[in-house]
Amino acid sequence: MSPHDADLDALEAEAMWVIREAAGAFRTPVILYSIGKDSTVLLHLAAKAFAPARIPMPVLHIDTTWKFREMIRFRDETARRLDLDLRVHTNPDGLGNAITPFTHGTDEYTRIMKTVALRQALDTGEFDVALGGARRDEERSRAKERMFSLRGAGHTWEPSAQRPEFWTTVNSALVGGQTMRAFPLSNWTELDVWRYIQREKLDVVPLYFTQALPTVLRQGKPVAIDDDRFIFEPDEQPVVRRVRFRTLGCYPLSAGEESEATSVDDIIAELEVATTSERAGRLIDGVGASSMERKKTEGYF
Amino acid sequence: MPDENVSTPAVSELGLARIVVCGAVDDGKSTLIGRLLAETGSIHTDEARAAELPDGTLDYSRLTDGLESEREQGITIDVAYRYVRLPEGRRALLADSPGHEQYTRNMAVAASLADVALLVVDAVRGIRRQTLRHAAVCRLMGVQSYVVAINKIDAVDDPDTRIAEVRSELERRLSDLPHVAYVAVSGLRGDNVTGPDSLLSSLVAGTALRTNTDKSRAPLRIPVQTVLRDNERRWYAGRIASGSICAGDTVSIWPSGATAVVRDLVLAGESSTATAQSGASVALELDRETDIGRGDIFVTSSGDEELPVSRAHLADVVWLDDEPLNPAASYVLRVGPLEVPARVDQVRFALDLDAGEEIPTQSLRANDIGRVEITTDRPLLLDSYAFSRHTGGFILCDRLSGRTLAAGMAVHPLQRESDVTRHAFTVTRKARESLNGVRAGVLWLTGLPGSGKSTIADEVEKSLFERGIRSYVLDGDTVRQTLSEDLGFSPEDRRENVRRVARTAQLMMDAGLIVIVSLVSPFRADRAAARELFAHADFAEVFVDTPLEVCQERDPKGLYARAATTADSQMTGAGQAYEPPLSPEVNLDGTAPVTRNTELLVAWIMERRAR
């Protein structure tokens, strides 16, 4: 037994408790699935929480249409393998108005294609609790969030007036259009996630491992050219670089990093000495010191 | 400091080490924590960059004050959760909590799962009311060990003297805390944050204590969260709050009282033959069909554990909401997955933090700490909080707004007449009766003074004693000198006397005894009221039927003789009438030999052996 196993066991048991609570205390739970490593762990934990029965709730993916192609392939394979009730939603208004990360500002694009899309899907599905793979160590406003986090009518978050949370007793009362977000991975770190992926031998999207990809540098970081919709700046030329991604999102907004990690073991070794956080690789967080908090108050995950 | 002789148990509870950071506002918590995180290599460089001031220096408080409004106001509003790296590859989850009184609710949240409290005190200002409030909340929330950091020693002129002063004051005011370590630090300058005999080493020592608490041998509690269905099979899913469980174990289910064997134990998603420990998320399949749903609790099956089930419980509460406690309101009480309507019947006291005293009050306001009596609409299994945070901690919620109004920590169940629950009551009494060999019951001997009640009672008790059956005689004369020494012989006082004797007999019967009441109890209405307290089979009215002339002639205490010379005597058979029973269970001829009457009553008792 590795020294990390006790921590992973504790985190696993806690996450399963959250997932079961979402199923037991609410009417219409849903799992939010973003295809990344955290979502992979979340789905695995959900399968464990309900085993030997199947996951008794739908899985929702907000598709901005700008995810890496490998991600979509992985999503559909996963849904088949786990026999998921997968629901995919794209904001039709965003599509109609041709909102893209190239033509609109990052904030505007994210608001329309992610935040608004998520609100639409939650409203349409009448989901009263949404499980997500967010972690407290990701970002400092996340560090402030409850495991069961109340949302007001319109999916708003009031960070300075959160509902208190004690022990393993969840106040699941919802009134006047309130809904709940639940975060089973709240107390996991990026390293915990990878150690768990290693221990449980989970498959992840291959983009987490180093491969040679055509890239350009933006804000000094390599951004992959995943398809022919990529719009180059006047002086940009694609350069093949050996990169991997610490976080995956919309490909034009996900910066990779040069790395030689080709296995989960390599990634863990790399992270054990890493000095930067994973969000350093997300171009979307660079705008303003509180951009995450502001997006969350509007309903973003 | 930890006792070095305490051995580490073979199995320890599943869980992360958790530290709550608290103390009054502006005592420098966030700065100290930021420093601790930075010096232990617990933060990333890009996070540090985000906490930089415009002049490029690091503002440590910005590492944890993650909300926009917090940075604007320069205060902590809500809890920030961050890992701190400890030596030897270990870590602890820090909950940095707000110091302002108005955010006490968030501080209580941070303390609710903590093993260790880091209480920060400003060396300049010394102890403050919030320091005491936070210490009180931590103690109520069951925090096991404390590191008191006397901070800002860079800001005092004569640090040694000042530290000694503040420390002696703290030692006096915090004398009721267990395992306290003191350390003098400067968060701003970084003095004594890490290194030998530092803040860090004290925290390490504090977290080491938790590995010595083993909950797996405690009585079993698994609150059921949800039911898993696969074709015809069912598993009951929950997290082990205390105790341990293994396939093949027999368990009981509260509240139904049903018992079943665990046929399949699913641990972390797979059927397992291992023993699952406290903290594990499990699912149980049972060997028989029983009606089990969310909020039911799996408990140890052996009968020797008396479950803390009652409709009334004594509890400590931290009132969280701006709306004060309303004793008339019906709240929703939640403990784990269980929900039940509840009222707060009585506030016994509130804590005066400055004086360290309990003061009587009718209500509790935001941030008050008090002790209350809570009544639920149906019997509730509520463990003492000292036994388990998960099955002894509860919240009170507002029905309309859904807000969480209070966090409660159960002390013990209260036994009121109306909440002697069938389940808990029968088990208890049965266990005691099994020691006695017969079912407990009450023989109520009534008759005129001098009819021979006491003589018969005494003979019956001797006979039972020889048989090894425990009993007790509640004799009128003895009761008059003790329990009812304040009462006279008016009809009202006689009624009260009968009531007290009946209630006492009820308690004794619950203790498993054969109770022999020897009391004139002249009025039918009073005897009927006494009879109503008992089940039909447990109460026998015994009429010792002796003619008045015979009693007057016997007059063993000279009562009749004295009454004859007293105007307006209240004596039964003289100034007051005796109302003979109309249909007593046993009718004894008071003029027959005592041995014969004794045999009749002993026979009635021995018949209860088989039942």
Shared domain check, B94 and B42:
yes
pLDDT at B74: 78
**What's A161's domain CATH number?**
3.40.50.620
Yes or no, beta carbons of B335 and A169 under 8 Å apart: yes
| pLDDT for residue B212 is more than 70 | no
The residue that leads in pLDDT, B150 or B208, is B150
- The residue segments making up the domain with residue B565 are 431-609
Structure tokens given for B512 = 């498993």
Yes or no, beta carbons of A159 and B67 under 8 Å apart: yes
Provide the shortest C-alpha distance from residue B177 to chain A (in Å): 21
In angstroms and rounded to an integer, the radius of gyration of the C-alpha atoms of chain B is 33
Shared domain check, A221 and A150:
no
Shared domain check, B39 and B168:
yes
B277, containing H or E segment:
none
- The residue segments making up the domain with residue A215 are 205-285
Shared domain check, B354 and B245:
no
The residue that leads in pLDDT, B469 or B183, is B183
Give the chain A residue whose CA is nearest to the CA of B79.
A144
Mean pLDDT of chain A: 92
Query: Does residue B458 belong to any structural domain of this protein?
Result: yes
Shared domain check, A273 and A224:
yes
Query: Does residue A233 belong to any structural domain of this protein?
Result: yes
**What's B398's domain CATH number?**
2.40.30.10
Measured distance CA(B73)–CA(B80) in Å, rounded: 16
CA A275 to chain centre: 22
Shared domain check, B467 and B571:
yes
SS3 at position A59: strand
Residue finishing a domain among B274, B300, B326: B300
Which DSSP letter does residue A272 get? H
Measured distance CA(A193)–CA(A248) in Å, rounded: 14
Q: What is the pLDDT of residues B407-424, one digit of tens each?
A: 999 999 997 654 444 444
Measured distance CA(B152)–CA(B146) in Å, rounded: 19
Say what the pTM is.
Answer: 0.78
Return the number of other C-beta atoms located less than 10 Å from residue B495's C-beta.
Answer: 16
Shared domain check, B81 and B204:
yes
Determine which of A89-93, B42-46, B496-500, B519-523 has the lowest per-residue pLDDT on average: B42-46
pLDDT at B422: 41
Yes or no, beta carbons of B67 and A160 under 8 Å apart: yes
Provide the shortest C-alpha distance from residue A228 to chain B (in Å): 33
Shared domain check, A19 and A161:
yes
B505, containing H or E segment:
helix B491-510
Q: What single string gives the DSSP state of each residue in A10-37?
A: HHHHHHHHHHHHHHHH-SSEEEE--SSH
Yes or no, beta carbons of A12 and B335 under 8 Å apart: no
pLDDT at B187: 92
Best probe of the A interface among B19, B33, B40, B46, by most A CBs < 10 A, is B46
Query: Does residue A199 belong to any structural domain of this protein?
Result: no
Chain B residues within 8 A of A168 when measuring between CB atoms: 239, 241, 336, 390
**Closest to B109 (Cβ–Cβ): which among A23, A165, A293?**
A165
> Of the segments A66-70, A141-145, B203-207, B476-480, which one has the largest average pLDDT value?
A66-70
Chain B residues within 8 A of A52 when measuring between CB atoms: 228, 230, 233, 235, 266, 271
Dihedrals phi, psi of B250, to nearest 5 degrees: -95, 135
| pLDDT for residue B1 is more than 60 | no
Measured distance CA(B280)–CA(B285) in Å, rounded: 16
Query: Does residue A231 belong to any structural domain of this protein?
Result: yes
Q: Which of A165, A25, A150, A170 is nearest to B320 (CA)?
A: A165
Compute the average pLDDT of residues B557-573: 82
Query: Does residue B493 belong to any structural domain of this protein?
Result: yes
Shared domain check, B504 and B359:
no
Q: A148-151 and A179-182: which strand pairing?
A: antiparallel
Distances (CA, A) of B356 to B134, B174, B175, B411: 13, 10, 11, 20
The pLDDT-based confidence of B216 (bands split at 50, 70, 90) is: low
Shared domain check, A209 and A187:
no
Q: Is the dihedral of CA B421, B425, B426, B427 positive or negative?
A: positive
Shared domain check, B510 and B456:
yes
Query: Does residue A110 belong to any structural domain of this protein?
Result: yes
Measured distance CA(A10)–CA(B499) in Å, rounded: 56
Query: Does residue A212 belong to any structural domain of this protein?
Result: yes
Chain A residues within 8 A of B228 when measuring between CB atoms: 50-53
Yes or no, beta carbons of A163 and B230 under 8 Å apart: no
**Closest to A10 (Cβ–Cβ): which among B15, B228, B407?**
B15
**Closest to B45 (Cβ–Cβ): which among A167, A275, A290?**
A275
Query: CA neighbours within 13 Å on the CB side: how many for A121?
Result: 31
Best probe of the A interface among B43, B49, B82, B226, by most A CBs < 10 A, is B226
The pLDDT-based confidence of A281 (bands split at 50, 70, 90) is: low
pLDDT at B199: 96
Shared domain check, B488 and B505:
yes
Chain B residues within 8 A of A167 when measuring between CB atoms: 112-113, 336, 389-390, 393
**Closest to B46 (Cβ–Cβ): which among A49, A51, A277?**
A277
Provide the shortest C-alpha distance from residue A176 to chain B (in Å): 9
Shared domain check, B399 and B445:
no
**What's B497's domain CATH number?**
3.40.50.300
Measured distance CA(B121)–CA(A43) in Å, rounded: 44
Measured distance CA(B137)–CA(A168) in Å, rounded: 18
Query: Does residue B10 belong to any structural domain of this protein?
Result: no
Residue finishing a domain among B158, B177, B210: B210
Provide the shortest C-alpha distance from residue A107 to chain B (in Å): 18
The angle at the Cα of B510, spanning B505 to B512, to the nearest 5 degrees, equals 100
Shared domain check, A30 and A172:
yes
Q: Which of B339, B346, B313 is nearest to B397 (CA)?
A: B339
Shared domain check, A220 and A92:
no
Yes or no, beta carbons of B16 and A9 under 8 Å apart: no
Compute the average pLDDT of residues B389-396: 96
The pLDDT-based confidence of A290 (bands split at 50, 70, 90) is: low
Query: Does residue B215 belong to any structural domain of this protein?
Result: no
Shared domain check, A225 and A265:
yes
Measured distance CA(A93)–CA(A166) in Å, rounded: 41
Chain A residues within 8 A of B68 when measuring between CB atoms: 141, 159, 289-290, 293-294
Q: How many domains does chain B fold into?
A: 4
Shared domain check, B169 and B143:
yes
Provide the shortest C-alpha distance from residue A164 to chain B (in Å): 6
Chain B residues within 8 A of A289 when measuring between CB atoms: 50, 68, 71
> Of the segments B405-409, B526-530, B575-579, which one has the largest average pLDDT value?
B405-409
Shared domain check, B240 and B143:
no
Yes or no, beta carbons of A50 and B68 under 8 Å apart: no
| pLDDT for residue B213 is more than 80 | no
Measured distance CA(B469)–CA(B514) in Å, rounded: 8
ipTM of the complex: 0.94
Structure tokens given for A39 = 């979502």
Best probe of the A interface among B225, B264, B278, B409, by most A CBs < 10 A, is B225
Shared domain check, A176 and A238:
no
pLDDT above 70 as % of chain B: 93
Exposed, middle or buried: residue B567 (CB in 10 Å: 0-12, 13-18, 19+)?
exposed
Contact, B411 vs B167, CB < 8 A? no
Contact, A155 vs A127, CB < 8 A? no
Query: Does residue A198 belong to any structural domain of this protein?
Result: no
Compute the average pLDDT of residues A162-170: 96
Shared domain check, A139 and A91:
yes
Query: Does residue B216 belong to any structural domain of this protein?
Result: no
Q: What single string gives the DSSP state of each residue in B535-591?
A: -GGGEEEEEEE--HHHHHHH-TTSHHHHHHTSTT---BTTTB-----SS-SEEEETT
Yes or no, beta carbons of A174 and B397 under 8 Å apart: no
Chain B residues within 8 A of A49 when measuring between CB atoms: 237, 269, 281
Shared domain check, A144 and A242:
no
Q: What is the pLDDT of residues B328-362, one digit of tens each?
A: 889 999 999 999 999 998 999 999 887 878 999 98
Shared domain check, A184 and A52:
yes
Shared domain check, A126 and A15:
yes
Shared domain check, B389 and B254:
no
Query: Does residue B528 belong to any structural domain of this protein?
Result: yes
Best probe of the B interface among A169, A174, A200, A285, by most B CBs < 10 A, is A169
Provide the shortest C-alpha distance from residue B281 to chain A (in Å): 5
**Closest to B109 (Cβ–Cβ): which among A52, A164, A294?**
A164
Q: Is the dihedral of CA A56, B290, A167, B358 positive or negative?
A: positive
Query: Does residue A237 belong to any structural domain of this protein?
Result: yes
Yes or no, beta carbons of A52 and B228 under 8 Å apart: yes
Yes or no, beta carbons of A277 and B320 under 8 Å apart: no
**Closest to A171 (Cβ–Cβ): which among B69, B269, B404?**
B404
The pLDDT-based confidence of B610 (bands split at 50, 70, 90) is: very low
Q: How many domains does chain A fold into?
A: 2
Query: Does residue B2 belong to any structural domain of this protein?
Result: no
pLDDT above 90 as % of chain B: 60
Which DSSP letter does residue B1 get? -
